[in-house]
Amino acid sequence: EGLDGLLSDARRNAVVLGPGAGIGAITRSQVELVLNSGRASVLDADALTSFEGEAESLSARVRATGAHEAVITPHDGEFSRLFNQQKDILQLKDRLSRARRAAEFLDLVVVLKGPDTVVASPDGRAVISTNGTPWLATAGSGDVLAGAIGGLLAQGHKAFAAAAAGVWLH
């Protein structure tokens, strides 16, 4: 109810959902509400884990709502949980191929976090950041990244550009 109220204000044009949201049906319904709102969005952490093994369900929701300015920001563990039913994605040998295939599958931008963070778009574009440091492997660091991308989306940047710039800034 609170999220629906917040989304009723058109000035709120971007949403970051996931960090600290809790895992389960409530977060899943919040993801659907955000996608249906037409707002630019970043789904991270609990928003992704709430769809464990149900990447196909998330993909269907994205496609049904036309949520084209959407980004997910999983680390390898979240990525594996989300796509554990899509062996064709998980068995790809390199992170670039996995991120590209996941972006195409979900029809949204994927930021596969790690020492060589990959940003992939459904249209096949991709960039790889090699300027991260081990300090970014700290709890909460991904939440900051999600917020940076969300801030760029709120300023009107397209999802792929916001994700790539957010990763570089982070």
Are 70 and 43 within 8 A, CB to CB?
yes
pLDDT score of 66 more than 90: no
Q: What is the mean pLDDT of residues 60-68?
A: 90
pLDDT score of 148 more than 80: yes
pLDDT score of 42 more than 90: yes
User: How confident is residue 67, by pLDDT bands cut at 50, 70 and 90?
Assistant: confident
DSSP string, 64-76: HHT--SEEE---H
Q: Model-level pTM greater than 0.85?
A: yes
Q: What is the mean pLDDT of residues 20-24?
A: 96
- Give the tens place of pLDDT for each residue, 105-142: 999 999 999 989 999 999 999 999 988 888 888 888 99
Hey, what are 24's tokens? 């389960």
- Give the tens place of pLDDT for each residue, 75-91: 999 999 999 999 999 99
Buried-exposed string 77-100: b where 16+ CB fall within 10 A, e elsewhere: ebbebbbeebeebeeeeebbebbb
- Amino acid 134: pLDDT: 81
Closest CA to 29 of 54, 10, 47: 47
